Structure formats: structure tokens, C-alpha cells
Structure 1
Amino acid sequence: MTISLRTLALTTALSLALASTAQADVTIRYLASHGGLSAHELAEELGYFQGTGITLDNVGYAGGGPESLMALAGGSVELGSAATAAVLNSIAGGNDFLAAYPSNGINDQVQSIFYVLEDSPVRSIEDIVGKTVAVNTLGAHLDYTVREALHQKRLAQDAANLVTVPGPQLEQVLRSGQVDVSAFGYWQTTFEGVARQNGGLRAVFDDTDVLGEIAGGFIVLRRDWADDHPAEARAFVEASARALDYARENPDETRAIFARVLEDRGENPQVAQFFKGYGVRQGGLAVERDLQFWIDVLEREGRLEHGKLKAADILFTPAKTVAAN
């Protein structure tokens, strides 16, 4: 991997700027995901946390967003990562979380894709009624995407049978006929790329067809932690957002970093070549629609009291947070 002098200069400048606001040495524990890196992990590899007082500590893997949020609520980690709907459900359930930055987004380049075998009779959203669909976890992005897809077709939202399958096994269970559809999440483009390369699969629909361009999930902080560490929270978010931009502007270098880190973790480094990007808009930060879309869905389904949550109250705003402290 080659990093240009300009990139090194920008990294140094960012680190110095963030160091000027950091107030304490803090360790941020987190759970990683198989097959990829979150933007804060990429930021660490790029040296964006140098001088900020922040140390990242990978304490294991999360099987899905709800598991990550449970660890955050229980205090065993300082950040979580989950689909937007799962984050909102957790907050509505009493957890005082802040949506720090969008972990991934969906657009025409980066999206969750629902695959079937080439000879499958499933050719549309309507055809998944009564079929078994493999998703990474229940109560998160793929679950709610299926529900919303069926709702838009005026079908019962629970008309498909969802089963949980870890990302590395999505291709296997589809090819063996254990499921009718395998949903590769927007954060699983590495696994999706391998499956597509092996051939014999056909895409039925993707989440951009259903939701449009939107943040797919968020890195989440506890509000009390952000209140206690305002400068460090700001440094964390700004460095991670810079890493999201770096990945967009330097895809080859990013894939090289992914491959090296995955190999160091004992994972398959070859899947890194299929990383398409994070799918997040330029600047790396969220807008209110990223949350409000799902707030409206949850209110419509009766899962959330109308007016209980407001996007503006959940989105982390670095400048506002530091100023308030």
C-alpha cells in the first residue's frame, strides 16, 4: 500500500487539530464484524487517532447489530453498531444512545442484495411470500427491509419466513437449498462479491429499490459517555467521518488495508477485493432523514409512540456537544 505525501500531510494535520481538543486518554472497546472494517477501524489504521488520546480495543466479534447494542447497554463496550431501525428500537426501549456517525449507507454502488439461484421461481418481491429468506439477524436492517418491501406491495409484512445465517454461510445455505433467498447486507459486499464471482446466482431486488439512498446503520455511543468525554467523542466522530471520505477517494488503498487487517485477524484476506465502499455521502455525517424514515415506519407499525423520538435529539452533533460542556 502506498500513501501519498498529501494524504500523510492531511493525516498529520487532522491528528494535530483533534489533539488540540482532546482532554483525556480514553479506551473505546468495541465488537468487530467478520469480513470488513468499520470506519473507526480504518481511521485507526490511517493514524487519524494519533494525538487524540483515543485507543481502540477490539474485544471480539458481534453476530449482528442487536448483539452489539446489548453489549453497549450492558457497559462491556463503549460503542455499538447496528441498523437504524434496531438503534431506534433500542432507544425507544430505554437506552440513551446517540447516533454518532453512519456506519454504512446504501446507494447504487453499495447496497444489500437479495439473491436466489438462477433457476429459482422467485423473480420479484411478491414471490418471496411464503419463502425462506436468510438474513444476518432479526430486528435489524435486512429484517425491516423485507417488511418494508412487502408493505410497499400491500402484502403482509410477515409473509416471508426469515431465518438467521452468519455472513460467511449465506452463499452455502442458498446453494445447498436450505433457504430460498440469501440477503447479503450492504456491509457484506465482500461476501456478496465472492458469491457473485462463483456464478449461478440471480439478484431479485436490493434495499435501494425499497428505501432509496439512505444511511443503513449507525455507530452508536452512550449519551453519558459522550457527555463525560465531549472532546474525545468529537475527535472519534470526526476522524471516523474522515476515514469514510478516505475510503471513497482511495478505494484501492482501502482494499489493501482491509486485506492486511483481515489476514492479521485470521480471516480470509481475499474477500477484501470485493469491498465496494461504505456508501455514505460525502462528509461522512448523517442527515435527519436517515433516522426519520425509520421513525415514521416504526410509528406506522405501532412499534413506537408517535412523537416519542425525534431525529434531531438522537443525532450526535460534535460542535454542539463540545460547546455544551
Structure 2
Amino acid sequence: MDRSFLKLVSLAAAWLLAVVLLAGCGDKATSAAHTEAPGGLEVTELRYQGSVGAVTFPELAEDLGYLSPLKLKFIGTTISGPQDIQAVVTGDTDFGGAFNGAIVKLIAAKAPITPVISYYGVDDNTWSGYYVLDDSPIQSAKDLIGKKIAVNTLGAHHEFVIKEYLRREGLSEAEIEQVTLVVVPPVTGEQTLRASQVDVATLGGVLRDKALERGGIRPLFTDKDLFGVFSAGSYVLTNKFIQDNPQATRKFVEATAKAIEWARTTPPDEVRARYAKIIKERGRKEDDSSIKYWKSTGVAGTGGLIAPEEFETWVNWLVQDGTIGEGEVDGRRIYTNEFNPYRDGGELANDNGKN
């Protein structure tokens, strides 16, 4: 028999076997995801990534009892919002969070995800600054040409803010390309700056306050200077997860929203004590010293309600940047407040999202 024909038959058989195996795996995944759960929920647990030395709002919600009977399953840590939401798309996690601009880019790339609740942002107490040493010759945007700026990840909050600052200060695109962004874990940003390995360090929240307490640095600009008070990032779920698990989706959003409001309305000392307790009890061998600098949630909308401009701003920015096309993404239609318990009575109840 002709060898090419045998090879073709062999390939066809292998392909058929692969299809059968994948179908079997798919059945197992579906049955596992829909194991009967208490409380009328479709699933029993949600997989997620956390942050070293920090407490996320879903983690707080679980500790406060708001998430029950759902449970969280920690699979690792991340310092990158884009990586966190990509893990949701690939099915490695059930939810993840990132800067809204990064979410817009992923949706423009046809990722089947929907933002469901805001989880971080900028207010009078919570914001990020871009710091230089006191004796640094850098005084303006022009001085950043040929210099290095430390950021936690590329393609997210800090890259957008830095480029916006440079553009507002009149730098050309060619000059902006000469400003180098260096990925540095946030916890080592200050050390990297003081060792003169970078010229500017991005410092926010507790890391910023710890650095300022030690002195010797000054801000060149801040994200609050540029954009004011706003929610900057959202948690996302895949559209399939929402469709297959509406009750679990509602429970997750509801619990996270209640945790945000608990942190917003509870005395800061009590919030800090709760965070320290959570970090100690989860046993990940973390340093919780930064918790004492916690000041506020930074979330603008009640219970993490999403406002249209929190996506429209970055859609317009990406269109202007040439990253996405005009009309490619509608910032008012890509998110939902449907599952948020504060929707009807909240200040953003009449928004035009996917309601």
C-alpha cells in the first residue's frame, strides 16, 4: 500500500482520537464546574491569583463571610494586571483584575470577557506617584528622554499614565520612545531607585508611604494630578462563566461589593487589623508591615459600581494612540453593573452599561 496513503490514514486516526479525548475532557470540565453546590450556586469555588503582602476585596469578602458558601482557591501570585486577566481567558483562573485600559485592549483582541466590578482606583488617599531622588537632575518631562522608569508591568495603568504625562508636556512620539519603561516588582521599586538602577520609580499606596517616611525622594508627577478621582481597574469574568454560572457570578460580585463598602465605612485601624489577621492566618510567609499604611479603598463608585467614563476614557486614549480603531470598542457597552447589589440605589444606577 502507498506510504503516503498510510501516513494519511494514521494522521486521520490520530486526529479522531484527539477529538474524542478533548470531548471527554470537556465533559469532565463541565460536570466538575456544575457540581451541585449549596445555596443554589452552580460552582463551589473560584480560582484566583493574589498579591504578596496584600489583601484583595474577594479575600476580604471571604473572611467577612460575605462570599459563603462560595470559596476561593488561591493558585499563585501576580504583579501584572494584563497577566491576571489573560489567565481568566485561558481558563487558568475564574476571575482576575486589571487596569481598565488593559481590559479594553484585550476585548479589542476579541477576548470573551466582561468587567463586572471596580476594585481599585485613585482618590485623595490612594494614588500613585512617579518619584525621583531628591538630588536628581530630572525636573520635567523633557528630562526623562533617555531615562529609565520602573513600572510593575507593561501595557497597564502606569504605562498609560506615563505616556499621558509625556504627551501633555509636549514630547513628540519619537521622544517618548526614548523613555524606557523597566519592569520591576513593586516591592523593590524603591530599592531600585535608591540604587540608581532606574531614574524614576513608580510608587503607590503603602509602598509610597513607606518610601516617603524614609525620605530622600520627591514626586515628579502623580496619576491623581492627571486624572483626578476615578476607579481605574475592574475584575473580569468570561462571558461563558457568566452565562453558565449566573448565581455564582451574582454572589461573587455581591460579596466583593459588600467588602468594598465595609472597607470604605469601617474605621481604617479596624480595616488594617483585619488585613493583618487575614495575611497571618493564610500562612503564605508574607511580610505584613505595609498594611499599617493602608488608608482607603480608592474605589470611586459605591460598591465598585462602574461608570461609563471609566472605560470610555481609555477607549478614546487607545484610538488616539492608534492601538485600536475608531468604533472598534464601545466603552459604554463592554461592562455590566447587573450583578452589583448597589446598582438600583447607587449613584451610578442609571448608567448605560450592559444593564
Give the structure-1-normalised TM-score: 0.86
Kindly provide the CA deviation profile for residues 123-150 of structure 1, in whole angstroms up to 9, marking residues without a partner as x. Answer: 3334323221000000110011101111
Decide which of 180, 201, 223 is 1:161's aligned counterpart.
180
For residues 33-182 of structure 1, the aligned pairs below 5 Å read 33-50=51-68, 53-155=69-171, 156=173, 157-182=176-201
Matched, 1:225 2:245: no
Tell me the equivalent position of 1:26: 44
Q: Is the 8 A contact 2:150 2:201 kept in 1?
A: yes
Distance 1:246 1:94 in 2: 35
Matched AA of 1:262: I
Distance 2:118 2:311 in 1: 10
Distance 1:260 1:291 in 2: 35
SS of alignment partner, residue 313 of structure 1? coil
Matched AA of 2:325: E
Decide which of 199, 202, 213 is 1:183's aligned counterpart.
202
Q: Is the 8 A contact 1:233 1:318 kept in 2?
A: no
Kindly provide the CA deviation profile for residues 154-213 of structure 1, in whole angstroms up to 9, marking residues without a partner as x. Answer: 21343421100001110110000000100024xxx1222221111111112110111222
Decide which of 272, 277, 282 is 1:260's aligned counterpart.
277
What number of residue pairs does the alignment pair up? 298
Structure 1 gap ranges (5+): 1-18
Quickly say closer, same or farther: Cα 1:197–1:40, change in 2 above 3 A. Answer: same
Matched, 1:274 2:293: yes
Matched, 1:198 2:221: no
SS of alignment partner, residue 115 of structure 1? strand
Distance 2:150 2:231 in 1: 22
Percent identical among aligned pairs is 34
Distance 1:286 1:317 in 2: 7
Distance 2:177 2:55 in 1: 32
Greater Rg by CA: 2
Distance 2:261 2:43 in 1: 26
Quickly say closer, same or farther: Cα 1:254–1:230, change in 2 above 3 A. Answer: same
Matched AA of 1:286: I
Kindly provide the CA deviation profile for residues 248-287 of structure 1, in whole angstroms up to 9, marking residues without a partner as x. Answer: 2122221112222333321111110011222112332110
Give the structure-2-normalised TM-score: 0.79
Structure 2 gap ranges (5+): 1-36, 341-353
Distance 2:46 2:328 in 1: 30
Matched AA of 2:287: N
Offset at residue 20 of structure 1 (A): 11
Offset at residue 31 of structure 1 (A): 0.5
Offset at residue 21 of structure 1 (A): 7.7
Matched AA of 2:134: E
Distance 1:129 1:181 in 2: 12
Distance 1:174 1:190 in 2: 17
Distance 2:177 2:274 in 1: 40
Quickly say closer, same or farther: Cα 1:142–1:103, change in 2 above 3 A. Answer: same
Offset at residue 23 of structure 1 (A): 3.1
SS of alignment partner, residue 220 of structure 2? strand
Matched AA of 1:192: R
Q: Is the 8 A contact 2:151 2:202 kept in 1?
A: yes
Quickly say closer, same or farther: Cα 1:26–1:318, change in 2 above 3 A. Answer: farther
Tell me the equivalent position of 1:8: none
Matched, 1:315 2:331: no
SS of alignment partner, residue 303 of structure 2? coil
Distance 1:117 1:319 in 2: 45
Tell me the equivalent position of 2:18: none
Matched AA of 1:149: Y
Offset at residue 244 of structure 1 (A): 1.1
Offset at residue 62 of structure 1 (A): 1.1
Matched AA of 1:261: I
